[in-house]
Amino acid sequence: MSYKVAIVGATGAVGLEMLKILEQRQFPIQELRLLASHRSASKKLLFNGEQLTVQELTPASLQGCEIILSSAGAAVSREFVPHAQKCGAVVIDNTSAFRMEPNVPLVVPEVNPQRVTDHQGIIANPNCSTIQMVVALKPIHDAAKIRRIVASTYQAVSGKGLRAMTELEQQTRAVLNNEKVVCKEFPYQIAFNLIPHIDNFQENNYTKEEMKMVLETQKIFEDYSLRVTATTVRVPVFRCHSEAINIETERKITVAEVREILTHAPGVKVVDDPKNNQYPMPVDVTGKDEVFVGRIREDISIEKGIDMWVVADQLRKGAALNAIQIAEILISHKGTIHHV
Protein backbone atom coordinates (compact mmCIF):
# COMPACT_ATOMS: atom_id res chain seq x y z
CA MET A 1 0.00 0.00 0.00
CA SER A 2 1.25 3.51 -0.79
CA TYR A 3 0.27 6.87 0.64
CA LYS A 4 -0.35 10.47 -0.27
CA VAL A 5 2.35 12.39 1.58
CA ALA A 6 3.09 16.10 1.93
CA ILE A 7 6.16 17.90 3.25
CA VAL A 8 5.35 21.31 4.71
CA GLY A 9 8.44 23.51 4.68
CA ALA A 10 9.96 21.43 1.88
CA THR A 11 12.63 23.98 0.93
CA GLY A 12 14.05 24.38 4.45
CA ALA A 13 16.97 22.45 5.93
CA VAL A 14 14.76 19.83 7.60
CA GLY A 15 12.34 19.63 4.66
CA LEU A 16 15.18 18.91 2.24
CA GLU A 17 16.49 16.23 4.59
CA MET A 18 13.02 14.67 4.77
CA LEU A 19 12.93 14.51 0.98
CA LYS A 20 16.29 12.76 0.92
CA ILE A 21 15.36 10.25 3.65
CA LEU A 22 11.98 9.37 2.11
CA GLU A 23 13.87 8.40 -1.03
CA GLN A 24 16.66 6.56 0.80
CA ARG A 25 14.24 4.51 2.90
CA GLN A 26 11.88 3.89 -0.04
CA PHE A 27 8.84 5.09 1.87
CA PRO A 28 5.71 3.87 0.03
CA ILE A 29 4.49 7.04 -1.68
CA GLN A 30 1.59 7.26 -4.10
CA GLU A 31 1.80 11.03 -4.36
CA LEU A 32 4.27 13.51 -2.84
CA ARG A 33 3.40 17.18 -2.43
CA LEU A 34 6.10 19.69 -1.63
CA LEU A 35 4.61 22.68 0.18
CA ALA A 36 6.24 25.94 1.24
CA SER A 37 5.66 29.69 1.47
CA HIS A 38 4.60 31.84 -1.46
CA ARG A 39 8.19 32.96 -2.10
CA SER A 40 9.36 29.34 -2.52
CA ALA A 41 6.46 28.21 -4.70
CA SER A 42 7.42 27.06 -8.22
CA LYS A 43 10.91 25.92 -7.15
CA LYS A 44 11.91 22.48 -8.42
CA LEU A 45 13.23 19.71 -6.17
CA LEU A 46 14.47 16.28 -7.25
CA PHE A 47 12.83 13.14 -5.84
CA ASN A 48 13.42 9.63 -7.20
CA GLY A 49 14.82 11.09 -10.41
CA GLU A 50 11.79 13.33 -11.00
CA GLN A 51 11.61 17.11 -10.75
CA LEU A 52 8.74 18.07 -8.44
CA THR A 53 7.34 21.59 -8.28
CA VAL A 54 6.97 23.22 -4.89
CA GLN A 55 3.43 24.45 -4.25
CA GLU A 56 2.28 27.26 -1.99
CA LEU A 57 0.97 26.03 1.35
CA THR A 58 -2.76 26.72 1.57
CA PRO A 59 -5.67 24.87 3.20
CA ALA A 60 -6.61 23.56 -0.26
CA SER A 61 -3.09 22.16 -0.84
CA LEU A 62 -3.62 19.75 2.07
CA GLN A 63 -6.79 18.19 0.64
CA GLY A 64 -6.45 14.46 0.04
CA CYS A 65 -3.17 14.07 1.93
CA GLU A 66 -2.90 11.15 4.36
CA ILE A 67 0.45 11.87 6.03
CA ILE A 68 1.84 15.39 6.45
CA LEU A 69 5.43 15.96 7.59
CA SER A 70 5.60 19.52 8.90
CA SER A 71 8.76 21.53 9.59
CA ALA A 72 7.80 25.08 8.67
CA GLY A 73 7.74 26.65 12.13
CA ALA A 74 5.35 26.70 15.08
CA ALA A 75 3.21 29.59 13.83
CA VAL A 76 2.65 27.86 10.49
CA SER A 77 1.75 24.60 12.23
CA ARG A 78 -0.76 26.30 14.51
CA GLU A 79 -2.43 27.83 11.46
CA PHE A 80 -2.50 24.84 9.11
CA VAL A 81 -2.63 21.72 11.30
CA PRO A 82 -6.35 22.22 12.11
CA HIS A 83 -7.04 22.28 8.35
CA ALA A 84 -5.08 19.04 7.95
CA GLN A 85 -7.06 17.42 10.77
CA LYS A 86 -10.32 18.37 9.06
CA CYS A 87 -9.01 16.67 5.91
CA GLY A 88 -8.46 13.46 7.89
CA ALA A 89 -4.67 13.55 7.56
CA VAL A 90 -2.18 12.70 10.30
CA VAL A 91 0.37 15.46 10.86
CA ILE A 92 3.82 14.55 12.17
CA ASP A 93 4.86 17.97 13.39
CA ASN A 94 8.52 18.88 13.85
CA THR A 95 7.76 22.22 15.52
CA SER A 96 7.18 23.13 19.16
CA ALA A 97 3.54 24.06 18.54
CA PHE A 98 1.86 20.99 20.03
CA ARG A 99 4.59 19.10 21.90
CA MET A 100 3.35 19.81 25.40
CA GLU A 101 -0.36 19.39 24.62
CA PRO A 102 -1.62 16.56 26.89
CA ASN A 103 -3.52 14.80 24.08
CA VAL A 104 -0.64 14.96 21.56
CA PRO A 105 1.88 12.08 21.69
CA LEU A 106 5.52 13.18 21.77
CA VAL A 107 7.40 10.33 20.15
CA VAL A 108 10.92 9.01 19.70
CA PRO A 109 10.53 5.59 18.03
CA GLU A 110 13.42 3.95 19.91
CA VAL A 111 12.00 5.17 23.22
CA ASN A 112 8.17 5.20 23.20
CA PRO A 113 6.91 3.75 19.88
CA GLN A 114 3.70 2.57 21.57
CA ARG A 115 2.55 6.20 21.73
CA VAL A 116 2.37 6.54 17.92
CA THR A 117 -1.09 5.03 17.59
CA ASP A 118 -2.56 7.16 20.38
CA HIS A 119 -3.15 10.25 18.25
CA GLN A 120 -5.98 12.56 17.25
CA GLY A 121 -4.43 13.64 13.98
CA ILE A 122 -1.22 15.13 15.42
CA ILE A 123 1.99 13.40 16.49
CA ALA A 124 4.75 15.68 17.74
CA ASN A 125 8.44 15.30 16.97
CA PRO A 126 10.50 16.38 20.01
CA ASN A 127 13.21 19.00 20.02
CA CYS A 128 16.42 17.84 18.32
CA SER A 129 18.59 18.05 21.44
CA THR A 130 15.96 16.15 23.44
CA ILE A 131 15.73 13.35 20.86
CA GLN A 132 19.39 12.41 20.89
CA MET A 133 19.57 12.63 24.67
CA VAL A 134 16.59 10.35 25.35
CA VAL A 135 17.72 7.76 22.77
CA ALA A 136 20.97 7.44 24.73
CA LEU A 137 19.44 7.61 28.22
CA LYS A 138 16.20 5.58 28.04
CA PRO A 139 17.96 2.16 28.08
CA ILE A 140 19.91 3.28 31.16
CA HIS A 141 16.75 4.65 32.76
CA ASP A 142 15.07 1.27 32.23
CA ALA A 143 18.02 -0.53 33.83
CA ALA A 144 18.87 1.69 36.79
CA LYS A 145 16.25 4.50 36.93
CA ILE A 146 17.76 7.91 36.33
CA ARG A 147 16.96 10.41 39.08
CA ARG A 148 18.71 13.49 37.70
CA ILE A 149 20.09 14.68 34.34
CA VAL A 150 22.50 17.58 33.81
CA ALA A 151 22.97 18.35 30.12
CA SER A 152 25.25 20.85 28.41
CA THR A 153 24.74 21.09 24.66
CA TYR A 154 27.00 22.27 21.86
CA GLN A 155 24.52 22.87 19.05
CA ALA A 156 25.33 23.32 15.38
CA VAL A 157 24.04 26.33 13.44
CA SER A 158 21.98 24.08 11.16
CA GLY A 159 19.58 23.78 14.07
CA LYS A 160 18.50 27.31 13.15
CA GLY A 161 18.15 26.57 9.43
CA LEU A 162 19.82 27.12 6.08
CA ARG A 163 20.25 30.89 6.52
CA ALA A 164 22.15 30.29 9.75
CA MET A 165 24.52 27.91 7.97
CA THR A 166 25.10 30.53 5.30
CA GLU A 167 25.76 33.16 7.96
CA LEU A 168 28.43 31.02 9.63
CA GLU A 169 30.14 30.53 6.27
CA GLN A 170 29.98 34.24 5.42
CA GLN A 171 31.20 35.33 8.85
CA THR A 172 34.07 32.86 8.75
CA ARG A 173 35.20 34.26 5.40
CA ALA A 174 34.82 37.81 6.70
CA VAL A 175 36.94 37.17 9.79
CA LEU A 176 39.67 35.44 7.80
CA ASN A 177 39.68 38.28 5.24
CA ASN A 178 39.61 40.97 7.94
CA GLU A 179 36.22 42.23 6.72
CA LYS A 180 33.15 43.44 8.61
CA VAL A 181 31.12 40.64 10.23
CA VAL A 182 27.37 40.90 9.59
CA CYS A 183 24.96 39.36 12.15
CA LYS A 184 21.39 38.61 11.04
CA GLU A 185 20.46 35.13 12.21
CA PHE A 186 22.28 35.31 15.54
CA PRO A 187 22.44 38.14 18.11
CA TYR A 188 26.25 38.03 18.04
CA GLN A 189 29.04 36.79 15.81
CA ILE A 190 28.97 32.99 15.68
CA ALA A 191 32.16 32.44 13.68
CA PHE A 192 35.03 31.60 16.07
CA ASN A 193 32.65 32.18 18.97
CA LEU A 194 30.15 30.47 21.29
CA ILE A 195 26.72 31.89 22.13
CA PRO A 196 25.14 30.52 25.35
CA HIS A 197 21.69 31.53 24.19
CA ILE A 198 19.30 29.46 22.05
CA ASP A 199 15.70 30.69 21.73
CA ASN A 200 14.11 33.21 24.10
CA PHE A 201 14.91 33.64 27.77
CA GLN A 202 12.13 32.62 30.16
CA GLU A 203 11.15 34.09 33.54
CA ASN A 204 13.40 31.58 35.35
CA ASN A 205 16.41 32.73 33.23
CA TYR A 206 16.54 29.42 31.39
CA THR A 207 16.09 29.70 27.64
CA LYS A 208 13.12 28.15 25.88
CA GLU A 209 15.49 25.58 24.32
CA GLU A 210 16.69 24.54 27.76
CA MET A 211 13.16 24.21 29.11
CA LYS A 212 12.20 22.11 26.08
CA MET A 213 14.82 19.56 27.13
CA VAL A 214 13.47 19.55 30.69
CA LEU A 215 9.75 19.27 29.95
CA GLU A 216 9.96 17.06 26.86
CA THR A 217 12.21 14.51 28.57
CA GLN A 218 9.79 14.19 31.46
CA LYS A 219 6.86 13.75 29.07
CA ILE A 220 8.62 11.18 26.86
CA PHE A 221 9.81 9.13 29.87
CA GLU A 222 6.39 9.61 31.51
CA ASP A 223 8.28 10.42 34.70
CA TYR A 224 7.61 13.89 36.11
CA SER A 225 9.72 13.17 39.20
CA LEU A 226 12.81 13.10 36.96
CA ARG A 227 15.00 16.15 37.62
CA VAL A 228 16.50 17.70 34.50
CA THR A 229 18.61 20.81 33.97
CA ALA A 230 20.26 22.03 30.79
CA THR A 231 22.54 24.71 29.38
CA THR A 232 22.27 25.03 25.60
CA VAL A 233 25.05 26.68 23.60
CA ARG A 234 25.33 27.52 19.90
CA VAL A 235 28.75 26.64 18.49
CA PRO A 236 30.43 27.39 15.13
CA VAL A 237 29.78 23.91 13.71
CA PHE A 238 27.69 23.48 10.58
CA ARG A 239 25.99 20.22 11.43
CA CYS A 240 25.52 17.78 14.36
CA HIS A 241 24.69 18.60 17.96
CA SER A 242 26.98 17.41 20.77
CA GLU A 243 25.98 16.99 24.40
CA ALA A 244 27.91 16.48 27.63
CA ILE A 245 25.50 14.56 29.84
CA ASN A 246 25.76 13.73 33.53
CA ILE A 247 23.25 11.39 35.14
CA GLU A 248 22.58 10.24 38.67
CA THR A 249 20.86 6.87 38.97
CA GLU A 250 18.81 5.25 41.71
CA ARG A 251 20.84 2.04 41.46
CA LYS A 252 24.61 2.09 41.13
CA ILE A 253 25.54 1.24 37.54
CA THR A 254 29.06 0.59 36.27
CA VAL A 255 30.72 1.88 33.12
CA ALA A 256 30.95 -1.68 31.79
CA GLU A 257 27.22 -2.14 32.32
CA VAL A 258 26.42 1.16 30.58
CA ARG A 259 28.57 0.18 27.60
CA GLU A 260 26.88 -3.21 27.41
CA ILE A 261 23.41 -1.69 27.59
CA LEU A 262 24.12 0.96 24.96
CA THR A 263 25.89 -1.47 22.62
CA HIS A 264 22.58 -3.33 22.27
CA ALA A 265 20.30 -0.29 22.41
CA PRO A 266 18.29 0.57 19.26
CA GLY A 267 19.57 3.57 17.35
CA VAL A 268 22.77 3.90 19.42
CA LYS A 269 26.38 3.41 18.36
CA VAL A 270 29.07 3.32 21.03
CA VAL A 271 32.43 4.86 20.09
CA ASP A 272 34.36 4.78 23.34
CA ASP A 273 38.03 3.84 23.35
CA PRO A 274 40.02 6.41 25.37
CA LYS A 275 43.33 4.59 24.94
CA ASN A 276 43.12 5.10 21.18
CA ASN A 277 41.44 8.54 21.31
CA GLN A 278 38.19 7.18 19.90
CA TYR A 279 35.05 9.22 20.67
CA PRO A 280 32.19 10.72 18.63
CA MET A 281 32.74 14.01 16.80
CA PRO A 282 30.46 16.04 14.49
CA VAL A 283 32.72 15.59 11.46
CA ASP A 284 32.34 11.82 11.73
CA VAL A 285 28.65 11.74 12.61
CA THR A 286 27.35 14.07 9.87
CA GLY A 287 24.96 12.17 7.61
CA LYS A 288 24.64 9.23 10.01
CA ASP A 289 21.34 8.02 11.48
CA GLU A 290 22.50 6.72 14.85
CA VAL A 291 23.05 8.54 18.13
CA PHE A 292 26.76 8.17 18.94
CA VAL A 293 27.93 7.82 22.56
CA GLY A 294 31.45 7.97 24.00
CA ARG A 295 33.55 9.28 26.91
CA ILE A 296 31.54 7.02 29.23
CA ARG A 297 32.95 7.26 32.75
CA GLU A 298 31.94 7.22 36.39
CA ASP A 299 31.33 10.62 37.95
CA ILE A 300 33.96 10.91 40.68
CA SER A 301 31.93 13.58 42.53
CA ILE A 302 28.91 11.43 43.42
CA GLU A 303 28.35 7.78 44.25
CA LYS A 304 25.85 6.86 41.51
CA GLY A 305 26.84 9.12 38.66
CA ILE A 306 27.80 8.56 35.02
CA ASP A 307 29.20 11.04 32.49
CA MET A 308 28.95 10.61 28.74
CA TRP A 309 29.37 12.47 25.44
CA VAL A 310 26.54 12.19 22.90
CA VAL A 311 26.63 13.34 19.25
CA ALA A 312 23.95 13.07 16.56
CA ASP A 313 23.10 14.64 13.22
CA GLN A 314 20.21 16.82 14.32
CA LEU A 315 18.90 17.29 10.77
CA ARG A 316 18.51 13.52 10.50
CA LYS A 317 17.82 11.78 13.82
CA GLY A 318 17.07 15.07 15.54
CA ALA A 319 14.40 16.02 13.02
CA ALA A 320 13.71 14.47 9.59
CA LEU A 321 14.57 10.84 10.29
CA ASN A 322 12.67 10.75 13.58
CA ALA A 323 9.55 12.06 11.82
CA ILE A 324 9.80 9.48 9.04
CA GLN A 325 10.39 6.67 11.53
CA ILE A 326 7.14 7.75 13.21
CA ALA A 327 5.41 7.60 9.83
CA GLU A 328 6.81 4.10 9.25
CA ILE A 329 5.37 2.90 12.56
CA LEU A 330 2.09 4.60 11.71
CA ILE A 331 1.64 2.75 8.42
CA SER A 332 2.68 -0.54 10.00
CA HIS A 333 -0.39 -0.38 12.28
CA LYS A 334 -3.50 -0.91 10.20
CA GLY A 335 -6.07 1.82 10.70
CA THR A 336 -3.87 4.34 12.54
CA ILE A 337 -3.53 6.68 9.54
CA HIS A 338 -7.13 7.74 9.99
CA HIS A 339 -8.62 9.34 13.04
CA VAL A 340 -12.04 10.44 14.25
Catalytic residues: 128, 241
Strand arrangement of the beta sheet that strand 146-155 belongs to? 227-234, 146-155, 241-249, 305-312, 291-298, 268-270
For residue 2, the number of C-alpha atoms closer than 13 Å in the C-beta half-sphere is 9
- b/e map 235-273, b = 16+ CB within 10 Å: bbbebbbbbebbbbbeeebeeeebbebbeebebbbbbbe
How many whole angstroms separate alpha carbon 173 and alpha carbon 75?
33
Which is it for the CA torsion 152, 128, 265, 286, positive or negative? negative
Give the H/E segment covering residue 300.
none
Contacts of 332 (CB under 8 A, 6+ apart): none
User: Residue 340 carries which DSSP code?
Assistant: -
How many whole angstroms separate alpha carbon 259 and alpha carbon 262?
5
How many whole angstroms separate alpha carbon 151 and alpha carbon 206?
13
What is the C-alpha radius of gyration for the chain, rounded to an integer number of angstroms?
20
Contact 5, 31 (CB under 8 A): yes
Which amino acid is located at 106 in the chain?
L
Task: Name the nearest CA neighbour of 88 among 338, 303, 301, 318.
Answer: 338
How many whole angstroms separate alpha carbon 194 and alpha carbon 2?
45
